[in-house]
Copies of this chain bind each other. A is one copy, B any other.
Amino acid sequence: MMPINNFNKTKIKIYSTNKGIKVVDSPIKIQILNILEGQVSEADIVKHVGKSKSTISVHLKNLIEEGIISFKSHPLDRRSKLFYIVAEYIGEIYPNQIIYQMPEINSPLSDKEKLFTEVFRQYKSILLMHGLQLEPLEVKAGVKIGKSLYSTLSFQNFDELIKAIVDKFEQLGMGHIKVSSDNPLILKNKSCCECEDMQYNLPICNITKGILKAIFEEYYEMEVSIEEVECISKYDDCCSYLIETKANNS
């Protein structure tokens, strides 16, 4: 399978707003959205994007009308506004066609397990092949699954939680989990079933990511960020996940 090598040229972002799905393909708007982590003043946006104040104003007004961003007064200077994203980011469209082959089906689909493992694998590949990278939605599906799994884990302390996760991954055929670092917490999966036989040059184990996110969020009772820092799909030895509570993070 040919690797995908133009994934850095993202030009289109998809947001879900309370006015419906919005597709943003303006490079300036995407630059603005990229710097809108938390609340940012118009002056800072102008500085970072490097366009005139009037240009930025027009784009900010559009983004507000589309329901993607909103604003409020600066607490220290009421004449100044702080802008922030209100829409849910659901994915990207890669504007350049990605050419690679669909993954082969190597073993007979002899039962429902093999069927649905393959259905998900093929569907995910077809989306990527057509330039649709919907990582946030895959993570969301994983979170839903992870919450359900968490309720079946039994443990008394953190070490037992990790043991319960390892056992659950074995039971579900999702791979062999090992702790590779305690602080920060990094889990490695040597035989990840989510990206098996897929080579896309990008981390793609988003269901696993969502599952781990949900489990640790339930455990810590706070938001947890998960990054897939290595992925077999991008020629790493294993898939590994860096897990940080937002409290640690900020």
Contacts and interface: CB of A to CB of B under 8 A. Distances in A.
Nearest to A16: B130
Contacts of A174: 112, 115
Q: Which of A17, A95, A115, A141 has the most CB of B within 10 A?
A: A115
Interface of A: 12, 16-21, 23, 25, 88, 90, 93-97, 102, 105, 108-113, 115-120, 122-123, 126-127, 130-132, 134, 137-138, 140-142, 144-145, 148-149, 152, 171-174, 193, 207
Contact of A172 (B105, B112, B122, B130): B112
Q: Is the interface of A mostly helix, strand, loop or mixed?
A: mixed
Given A137-B126, A137-B127, A140-B126, A109 B21 contact: no
Contact of A144 (B117, B122, B138): B122
Q: Work out how many copies of this chain go into the complex.
A: 2
Given A19-B95, A132-B134, 8 more contacts: A16-B97, A21-B95, A21-B97, A90-B132, A109-B172, A111-B171, A115-B173, A119-B141
A93 B141 contact: no
A165 B74 CA distance: 65
Given A116-B113, A171-B111, A20 B122 contact: no
B117 A16 contact: no
A141 B115 CA distance: 11
A111 B110 contact: no
Q: Which of A97, A137, A144, A173 has the most CB of B within 10 A?
A: A144
A210 to B, nearest CB: 9
Contacts of A127: 134, 137
A19 B97 contact: yes
Nearest to A108: B152
A111 B88 CA distance: 32
Nearest to A92: B21
B116 A120 contact: yes
20 contacts: A12-B21, A16-B131, A17-B97, A21-B94, A21-B95, A102-B144, A105-B148, A108-B148, A109-B172, A111-B171, A112-B113, A112-B174, A115-B174, A118-B145, A119-B120, A123-B138, A123-B141, A123-B207, A126-B137, A127-B137
B23 A12 contact: yes
